[in-house]
A = this chain, B = another copy of it.
């Protein structure tokens, strides 16, 4: 009987564990340093009539990571971005099969040659965005003869909008503010160009949700490599990723950022106190940005890929997902849409549908139509629907 080990019992890890445990063929172990997170993982599985084993351990320790995963047929990574890379590095050297959703700052793909040596098969960045976003973008690109433009838009939002920010953070709020500050890499006219975060604002109508605003954030990640200017003759000439929020949020964030409230350099106050503005801002905003238990969220993902089809006709491949909080399991849309692409890949790793050694970005799934179909089925069964349309574009 195959065994899966989930590293991290946070919001996403818990959903992964319960999802895998639904398969009576798989034994599931969840590992975390925090007892209460483990208890919630266990309770969550039991509530669904499933069973998971929980182990308390400090996964910032390399030896512990190896010990905990020694007999795992597949490992799911759902660790904090702080410690995720070190854990992945250990798993790569030990030749494990891994599906990982951590938003690491380090370059996980640089571990690929070591994985090729050890036989490790790893897919990283395989949450919702990056993750499903990149699977769909690569799928759209593969369906076209020539691709000119990739436009990805994604946002996790509270259903109930409260003044002034109309926002809650579905993941670490410090990562959210970081996204509003970090310079944004986009591909324009065949070159990597840097833009300011929160710029390039546009309004977008999303059926059932209403009008949102989209603005640039640094979310291209692996796409800038796999389909960027240096990717060969089929490089895509323009690509960007945008974040979706309720209208007005970006303006407020710009005001705070440009007034200095996100500053990381300490400023000196009249009484001599030194303070990093970002620390105070985080202290004031984050409690207001926390989801309360049972507070409902939604996730919107839109991927628009355009180019020409095999007949030379201008064509748009469009993928749209609007997912909502699951009242049955009281789990957030953000945790579900992040966990399910990874549990889909975990099953592909278990049954050998995907078995190429290396550390791969999500595009590796996206370029194989059979794996894409399997992933979309996997999501659909879990209530996450991705609508796909292919449309002729007006010429000129």
Instruction: Fill in one digit per residue for A162-188: 1 if any B CB lies within 8 Å of its CB, else 0.
Output: 001000000000000000000000000
If A164-B254, A279-B273, A280-B277 touch, whether A285 touches B267 (CB-CB below 8 Å) is no
B-side contacts of A270, CB under 8 Å: 279, 283
- Asked if B279 and A269 sit within 8 Å, CB to CB, the answer is yes
Bound: A127/B259 CA distance, A: 31
- Please list the 7 inter-chain residue pairs (A to B) with the smallest Cβ-Cβ separation, ordered nearest first: A260-B284, A164-B255, A269-B279, A275-B275, A280-B280, A267-B283, A259-B284
Q: Does A261 make an interface contact (CB < 8 A)?
A: yes
Q: Within the complex, which residue of B164, B261, B268 is in contact with A258, where a contact is CB–CB below 8 Å?
A: B164
- Asked if A280 and B259 sit within 8 Å, CB to CB, the answer is no
The smallest C-beta distance from A257 to any residue of chain B, in angstroms, reads 10
Tell me the nearest residue of chain B to A281, going by C-beta.
B261
B-side contacts of A251, CB under 8 Å: 164
Q: Does A288 make an interface contact (CB < 8 A)?
A: yes
Q: Within the complex, which residue of B258, B261, B273, B285 is in contact with A275, where a contact is CB–CB below 8 Å?
A: B273
Q: Does A271 make an interface contact (CB < 8 A)?
A: yes
Q: List 12 A-B contacts (CB under 8 A).
A: A164-B251, A164-B258, A252-B252, A259-B284, A267-B283, A267-B284, A268-B283, A269-B280, A273-B279, A277-B280, A277-B284, A280-B280
- Asked if A280 and B252 sit within 8 Å, CB to CB, the answer is no
B-side contacts of A252, CB under 8 Å: 252, 255
Bound: A260/B279 CA distance, A: 13
B-side contacts of A258, CB under 8 Å: 164
The smallest C-beta distance from A271 to any residue of chain B, in angstroms, reads 7
Bound: A273/B283 CA distance, A: 12
Bound: A280/B259 CA distance, A: 11
Tell me the nearest residue of chain B to A258, going by C-beta.
B164
12 extra interface residue pairs, beta carbon distance < 8 Å, beyond A164-B254, A280-B280? A164-B251, A164-B258, A164-B259, A259-B284, A261-B261, A263-B284, A267-B283, A269-B275, A273-B273, A273-B275, A275-B280, A277-B280
B-side contacts of A284, CB under 8 Å: 259-261, 263, 267, 277
Q: Which residues 236-284 of A sit at the B interface, judged by CB distance below 8 A?
A: 251-252, 254-255, 258-261, 263, 267-271, 273-275, 277, 279-280, 283-284
B-side contacts of A267, CB under 8 Å: 280, 283-284
B-side contacts of A285, CB under 8 Å: 259
Bound: A164/B251 CA distance, A: 9
B-side contacts of A261, CB under 8 Å: 261, 284
